[in-house]
Amino acid sequence: MLLILNKNADNKEISIIKGKINKLGLEVNEIKELNYHILGLIGDVSKLDPGIFEAYKAIDKVIFVQEPYKKANRLLHPNNTEIKVNNEIIGGNKINIIAGPCSVENQKQILSIADDVKKYGAKFLRGGAFKPRTSPYSFQGLKLEGLELLKLAKQYTGLPIVTELTSLDFLDEYVDSVDIIQVGARNMQNYEMLKQLGKINKPILLKRGPSSTVEELLMSAEYILLGGNENVILCERGIRTFESYTRNTLDLSAIPVIKKLSHLPVIVDPSHATGRWWMVEPMALASIAAGADGLIIEVHNDPENALCDGNQSIKPDKLKQLMEKLKLIAKAVGRDI
Ligand code: PEP
Ligand code: MN
């Protein structure tokens, strides 16, 4: 149970209130101090004597958070979390597009794609340097060289960079040079990694595991939030179902569910969700219509020869067309882009 008290409650008052609540067989796990006025009681208050609250004016609000995620819970944080990254805000009214190749392949490739995605309205550049591949025989990424090339692309275009961290060994390098650290679907439940990411201040893009429930995703976010890093962006990227035509099944319903349960921003990855470039546009449009705060899209200038995920990568001119349609959808749902 979380107890929310007015900021000026003194220690004596707090311990008396805690004692009374404990006596009722309820446990206070956390105390938060806010400048709230009385907002009422949320949750199962049947066990509580309302006199407790009347007797101690220091209590403004008592919330029973029944869900296992506390800090990620919208009950405790009614307003949307807005995450400032360089000059952009993720989770506000504006929809943000993150675009770029699955993997950084060489200097020419990343600079050319970075230039194009910027021209067509993306506000962030994505690109994998360390790649978590299903097959050990597949291209594993340029690793630190890829990170250097991303930094170069940032220098040229000014676009903040988003890239996946696959090992804590490189955390320091990422903290120094990456604007948003991506935790891939495969690492969503790498709790040691999440704990370390809780100790830093960088925004974290946390992708949903292909077989994880929304609650499990929120519990993973909780690890980061609990460590003190409140800058967590959630990402729906498709889940594994019996359908095999698409690479994954995009769980569009996760968007309103997450929005209801949590205050954290949510973006969608229509590329990994579908595995097919021609499905990226309809799923991207549907995601924004369903309330997503942004998209992360794979864009490649030569998808046929891409070293990774060419099938699901759109060409830059497709991004341009998509952006025009996204503007219409954004307007229809009262958002800017
Ligand atoms: C990626 O974004 O390149 C990636 C590997 O995504 P996911 O972790 O969602 O599979
Ligand atoms: Mn990819």
What would the pLDDT profile of 32-77 be if each residue is shown by its tens digit?
665 443 334 444 455 555 555 554 555 556 666 778 898 899 988 8
Which residue owns the Cα nearest ligand 1 atom 6?
184
Q: Give the model's pLDDT for residue 295.
A: 99
Q: Give the model's pLDDT for residue 75.
A: 84
pLDDT at 24 over 70: no
Tens of pLDDT, residues 103-114: 999 999 999 999
The atom of ligand 1 lying closest to the CA of 308 is 3
Instruction: List, in sequence order, every residue forming a beta bridge with 89; answer none if it has no partner.
Output: 84
Q: Give the model's pLDDT for residue 43.
A: 45
Q: What is the distance in A from the centroid of ligand 1 to the CA of 279?
A: 17
Tens of pLDDT, residues 145-204: 999 999 999 999 999 999 999 999 999 999 999 999 999 999 999 999 999 999 999 999
pLDDT at 7 over 70: no
Share of the chain above pLDDT 90, in %: 78
Which residue owns the Cα nearest ligand 1 atom 10?
185
Q: Is 237 in the pocket of ligand 1 (CB under 6 A)?
A: yes
Q: Give the model's pLDDT for residue 18.
A: 75
Q: Identify the nearest ligand to the CA of 303 by its number.
A: 2
Q: Identify the nearest ligand to the CA of 247 by its number.
A: 1
If you count DSSP H runs as helices and E runs as strands, how many of each does the chain have, helices first?
A: 11, 14
Domains, the chain:
2-64 (3.30.70.1140), 83-332 (3.20.20.70)
Of 170, 155, 163, whose CA–CA distance to 125 is shortest? Answer: 163
Q: What is the distance in A from the centroid of ligand 2 to the CA of 316?
A: 16
User: Which residues, 6+ apart, have CB-to-CB distance to 250 below 8 Å?
Assistant: 236, 238, 268, 270, 273, 274, 283, 286, 287
Q: Is 128 in the pocket of ligand 1 (CB under 6 A)?
A: yes
Kindly report the pTM of this predicted structure.
Answer: 0.88
